[in-house]
């Protein structure tokens, strides 16, 4: 009997022995299931030639050898001689064949680019992965494996790929106590207590996964910075991570607290024009680079939400940034200076916006519209920053909302390199439980036209430097990574990490193509599953906008934790912490007037950009309430009354959330049971919360419109008071406090 039990255990499929937990993200490298395709690949690949003269080339060889063996279910022989059907990977310095190939062609690959070519040399059919640098070879190796994982033809490859943006960085909002601000996937993966002596395998895999999508930088610490990370004790720990990441082309960066000279340096001031302060930062940077010669630089949040900064001493953002730039310049380091700025001090009581009133109080606040803050503080500083400073600008003017118009700073500072900041962690998009594929959001912003140099001056051309001829370029994504087994908490959160990396490398890729790549690598190449899941992903962002903030509504989430709807809140410490400040509902209508008759924030855009939003009758209705206070009886482009359209949009969002779960149910036969069940449970939460959003918001706004729900909209089963009294003491960011 025992013999038969052992036989059974050894012969059942591996998938039943090891559930798919998501740890391997999109680098699963399972055996190719399409038998004819598998045969073609096996026939085309017989051996691998790569000279591991560096740790990075060794990593490339290990990735190729291991992945090919499992993908093809075939041992791949490493060889030093050129053989038929061989993969040859390397640089001119590591391979004579590569040197010959690159000398014969004028490939413009730069530092990170690569080429993959199917060639015939001396009668031998070869696949060549070539680059001028070792990291380029690693990027090319991952790209080749992506082709195999997604079942692409490889017989006639002729690929040249060069990143469009230089610095492609993840910003971790991780604290030294391992909590993560706006993190929804567990605690921080950086275990500072165990570093530097214990190197968790997760650090290596983190670097691998990032390198596979071209990310080349990691800011390890929260923008709400802690000066302790700049002490010798912590810098030694940072060095341990840098030593791991270096192999995979990833530089480490840190956040710097402006007051560090006082807190850990014993100085009495942090004035950026004080020579003792300047010298302290120079010595601190010298210390960092002695430990970490390829340290990337510093990310700084200053004079915002209580963080100290140069304005504390009557200095400008440029003067503050330039102090750091001068300290970093001898080491080729960069400064990323965030443009998300607003004073967190509580405003005077008489300035508080009063719900439902559009009188003097409203005008006082409108003149100080937070929408305008970054532009007002930074526009006049254009051209005053050092050459190694990038001003890091959020994609929109407020704060990572489900939909925002692009920040007016893009296209307004031609003499200053601007760095995009996206948020991968879903602070305002359902947090860790909603499936929201963010690539359409990223693309919407990147493809938006600033008209700064005429039509076609899209945001992407601002940040890639081509519009204003900048040689230093960057893009950042606020990481959604934690220590959950699948890294992002929600399996589909990985898609946002993946999409950010792919678009940071090449922003011309489509959201749909990126989704297809990710699905095929993460789940299966089954055609039905790929198409079905892609439909869910491509619909998910618009669904979230509809059931949360349709037609340009924004920042109506619960305060502090930003979880769930709370458009009624009007008692926060200052006006622009209250949802009522942003939606301005009253008996006349809904929305924030940012035209010339309101806050005039619209004037911060180029005239052609203004035109698309200036008239409520012609405004792109996706942004209507961003720029207009709209009458409840306003006629929409489809002929409906505004109130009816608002209700319909909320209902459409709910219907979409329900459809997403129904669509997912059809995928059950094609993937691992654990994967299916995890997503299905999360979709149940999303569906329920979509209904909550719709009911709570419409009941509240109905108190102003005094209009009935249209027939196509489901009537809420609960009362407005029920939704108002809900408490969420365990919501992320609350910490169990009422």
Q: Where are the domains of the chain?
A: 31-161, 167-523, 550-724
C-alpha distances in Å from residue 104, one per residue of 98, 108, 129? 10, 12, 15
Q: Which CATH number fits domain 31-161: 3.40.50.1370, 3.40.800.10, 3.40.50.460, 3.30.379.10?
A: 3.30.379.10
User: Cα 434 vs. chain centroid, distance in angstroms?
Assistant: 16
pTM value is 0.95
CATH number of 550-724: 3.90.1330.10
Whole-number pLDDT of residue 217:
98
Whole-number pLDDT of residue 730:
83
Residues 252-276: what's their mean pLDDT? 98
Sign of CA dihedral 283, 285, 286, 287: positive
SS3 291: helix
Q: Is residue 600 classed exposed, middle or buried when 0-12, 13-18 and 19+ CB atoms within 10 A define those classes?
A: middle
Percent of the chain at pLDDT > 90 equals 91
Q: What's the mean pLDDT when you consider all of the chain?
A: 93
Torsion of CA 274, 277, 283, 287, to 10 degrees: -150
Find the helix or strand (DSSP H, E) in which 255 lies.
Answer: strand 251-255
DSSP string, 109-120: -TTT-EEEEEEE
Contact assessment for residue 643 and residue 632, using Cβ atoms and an 8 Å cutoff: yes
End-to-end CA distance of the chain: 60
Whole-number pLDDT of residue 268:
98
From CA 333, how far away is CA 295, in angstroms rounded?
A: 7
| Exposure string over 512-548, b if 16+ CB within 10 A, otherwise e | eebbbbbbbbbbbbbeebbebbbebbebbbbbbbbbb
Sign of CA dihedral 208, 209, 212, 213: negative
pLDDT above 60 (res 305): yes
* Angle, in degrees to the nearest 10, between helices 511-522 and 527-548: 120
Q: Return the minimum-mean-pLDDT range out of 175-189, 333-347, 446-460, 519-533.
A: 333-347
From CA 709, how far away is CA 40, in angstroms rounded?
A: 60
Percent of the chain at pLDDT > 70 equals 94
From CA 133, how far away is CA 259, in angstroms rounded?
A: 39
Whole-number pLDDT of residue 732:
81
CB proximity list for 317: less than 8 A, separation 6 or greater:
302, 303, 309, 310, 311, 337, 341, 377, 378, 381
Going by the DSSP 8-state scheme, the letter that residue 449 receives in this structure is B
Q: In sequence order, which ranges of 564-672 are alpha helices (DSSP H)?
A: 579-583, 607-611, 624-627, 642-665
CB proximity list for 239: less than 8 A, separation 6 or greater:
196, 291, 292
pLDDT above 90 (res 573): no
Residues 643-659: what's their mean pLDDT? 98
Give catalytic residues, as residue numbers. Answer: 305, 399, 427
CB proximity list for 683: less than 8 A, separation 6 or greater:
435, 657, 660, 661, 664
Residue 242: Cβ within 10 Å count: 23
Whole-number pLDDT of residue 731:
83
Contact assessment for residue 480 and residue 425, using Cβ atoms and an 8 Å cutoff: yes
| Band of pLDDT at residue 359, cut at 50, 70 and 90 | very low
SS3 396: coil
Find the helix or strand (DSSP H, E) in which 297 lies.
Answer: strand 297-300
From CA 485, how far away is CA 553, in angstroms rounded?
A: 35
From CA 313, how far away is CA 65, in angstroms rounded?
A: 57
Whole-number pLDDT of residue 353:
36
DSSP string, 521-539: HHT---HHHHHHHHHHHHH
CB proximity list for 161: less than 8 A, separation 6 or greater:
113, 114, 115, 116, 139, 140, 143, 505, 506
pLDDT above 50 (res 354): no
pLDDT in tens, 385-443: 999 999 999 999 999 999 999 999 999 999 999 999 999 999 999 999 999 999 999 99
Contact assessment for residue 311 and residue 269, using Cβ atoms and an 8 Å cutoff: no
Whole-number pLDDT of residue 347:
57
Residue 631's φ and ψ, nearest 5 degrees, are -65, 140
Going by the DSSP 8-state scheme, the letter that residue 415 receives in this structure is T
From CA 606, how far away is CA 613, in angstroms rounded?
A: 11
Q: Return the minimum-mean-pLDDT range out of 77-81, 105-109, 270-274, 499-503.
A: 77-81
Sign of CA dihedral 689, 693, 694, 700: positive
| Exposure string over 58-67, b if 16+ CB within 10 A, otherwise e | bbbbebbbeb
pLDDT in tens, 209-244: 999 999 999 999 999 999 999 999 999 999 999 999
- How are beta strands 114-121 and 124-130 bridged, if at all? antiparallel
**CATH second-level architecture of 167-523?**
Alpha-Beta Barrel (3.20)
Q: Is residue 559 classed exposed, middle or buried when 0-12, 13-18 and 19+ CB atoms within 10 A define those classes?
A: middle
Residues 623-629: what's their mean pLDDT? 98
pLDDT in tens, 119-156: 999 999 999 999 999 999 999 999 999 999 999 999 99
From CA 614, how far away is CA 545, in angstroms rounded?
A: 22
From CA 615, how far away is CA 594, in angstroms rounded?
A: 11
From CA 708, how far away is CA 644, in angstroms rounded?
A: 9
SS3 692: helix
Whole-number pLDDT of residue 414:
98
Structure tokens at 442: 């990223």
Whole-number pLDDT of residue 368:
77
pLDDT above 70 (res 22): yes
pLDDT above 60 (res 252): yes
SS3 557: strand
Whole-number pLDDT of residue 6:
38
pLDDT above 50 (res 363): no
SS3 236: helix
């Amino acid at each position: 009997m025992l013999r038969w039990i052992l036989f059974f255990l050894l012969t059942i499929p591996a998938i039943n022995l090891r559930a798919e937990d998501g740890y391997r993200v999109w680098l699963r490298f399972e055996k190719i299931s399409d038998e004819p395709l598998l045969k073609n690949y096996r026939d085309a690949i017989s051996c691998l030639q790569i000279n591991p003269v560096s740790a990075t080339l060794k990593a490339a060889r290990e990735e190729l050898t291991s992945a090919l063996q499992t993908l093809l279910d075939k041992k791949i022989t490493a060889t030093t001689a050129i053989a038929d059907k061989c993969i040859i990977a390397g640089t001119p310095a590591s391979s004579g064949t590569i040197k010959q190939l690159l000398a014969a062609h004028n490939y413009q690959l730069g530092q990170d680019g690569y080429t993959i070519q199917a060639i015939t040399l001396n009668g031998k059919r070869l696949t060549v992965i070539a680059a001028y640098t070792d990291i380029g070879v690693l990027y090319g190796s991952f790209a080749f494996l992506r082709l195999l994982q997604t079942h692409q033809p490889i017989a006639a490859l002729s690929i040249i790929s060069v990143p469009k943006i230089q610095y492609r960085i993840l910003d971790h909002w991780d604290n030294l106590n391992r909590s993560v601000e706006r993190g929804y996937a567990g605690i921080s993966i950086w275990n500072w207590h165990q570093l530097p002596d214990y190197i968790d395998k997760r650090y290596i895999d983190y670097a691998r996964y990032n390198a596979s999508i071209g990310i080349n930088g990691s800011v390890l610490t929260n923008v709400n910075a802690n000066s302790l990370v700049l002490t010798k004790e912590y810098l030694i720990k940072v060095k341990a991570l840098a030593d791991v990441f270096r192999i995979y082309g990833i530089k480490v960066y840190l956040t710097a607290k402006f007051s560090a000279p006082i807190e850990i340096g014993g100085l009495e001031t942090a004035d950026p024009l004080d020579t003792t302060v300047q010298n302290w930062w120079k010595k601190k940077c010298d210390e960092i680079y002695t430990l970490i010669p390829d340290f990337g630089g510093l990310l700084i949040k200053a004079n915002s939400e209580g963080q100290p900064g140069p304005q504390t001493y009557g200095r400008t953002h440029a003067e503050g940034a330039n102090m750091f730039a001068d300290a970093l310049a001898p080491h080729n380091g960069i400064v990323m200076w965030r443009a998300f700025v607003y004073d967190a001090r509580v405003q005077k009581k008489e300035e508080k916006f009063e719900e439902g009133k559009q009188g003097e109080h409203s005008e006082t606040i409108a003149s100080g519209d937070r929408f305008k803050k970054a532009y007002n503080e930074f526009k006049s500083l254009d051209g005053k920053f050092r050459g190694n400073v990038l001003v890091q600008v959020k994609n929109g003017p407020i704060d990572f909302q489900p939909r925002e118009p692009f920040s007016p700073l893009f296209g307004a500072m031609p003499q200053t390199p601007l760095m995009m900041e996206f948020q991968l962690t879903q602070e305002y998009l359902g947090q860790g439980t909603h499936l929201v594929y963010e690539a359409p959001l990223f693309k919407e912003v990147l493809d938006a036209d600033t008209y700064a140099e005429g039509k076609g001056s899209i945001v992407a051309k601002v940040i890639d430097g081509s519009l204003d001829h900048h040689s230093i370029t960057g893009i950042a994504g606020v990481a959604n990574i934690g220590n959950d087994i699948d890294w992002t908490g929600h399996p589909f959160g990985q898609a946002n990490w993946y999409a950010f990396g792919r678009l940071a490398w090449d922003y011309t890729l489509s959201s749909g193509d990126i989704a297809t790549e990710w699905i095929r690598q993460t789940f299966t190449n089954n055609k039905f599953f790929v198409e079905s899941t892609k439909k869910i992903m491509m619909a998910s962002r618009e669904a979230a906008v509809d059931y949360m903030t349709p037609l340009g509504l924004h920042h109506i989430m619960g305060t502090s934790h930003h979880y769930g709807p709370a458009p009624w809140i009007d008692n926060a410490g200052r006006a622009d912490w209250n949802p009522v400040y942003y939606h301005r509902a009253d008996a006349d209508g809904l929305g924030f007037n940012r035209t010339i008759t309101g806050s005039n924030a619209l004037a911060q855009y180029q005239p052609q950009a203004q035109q698309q939003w200036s008239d409520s009758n012609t405004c792109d209705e996706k942004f209507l309430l961003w720029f207009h206070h709209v009458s409840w009886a306003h006629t929409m482009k489809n002929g409906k009354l505004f109130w009816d359209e608002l209700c319909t949009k909320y209902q459409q969002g709910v219907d979409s959330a329900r459809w997403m779960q129904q669509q997912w149910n059809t995928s059950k036969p094609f993937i691992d049971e654990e994967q299916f069940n995890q997503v299905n449970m999360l979709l149940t939460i999303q569906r329920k919360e979509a209904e909550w959003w719709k009911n709570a918001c419409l009941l509240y706004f109905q108190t102003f419109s005094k209009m009935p729900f249209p027939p196509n909209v489901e009537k809420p089963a609960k009362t407005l008071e029920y939704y108002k009294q809900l408490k969420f003491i365990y919501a992320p960011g609350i910490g169990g406090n009422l």
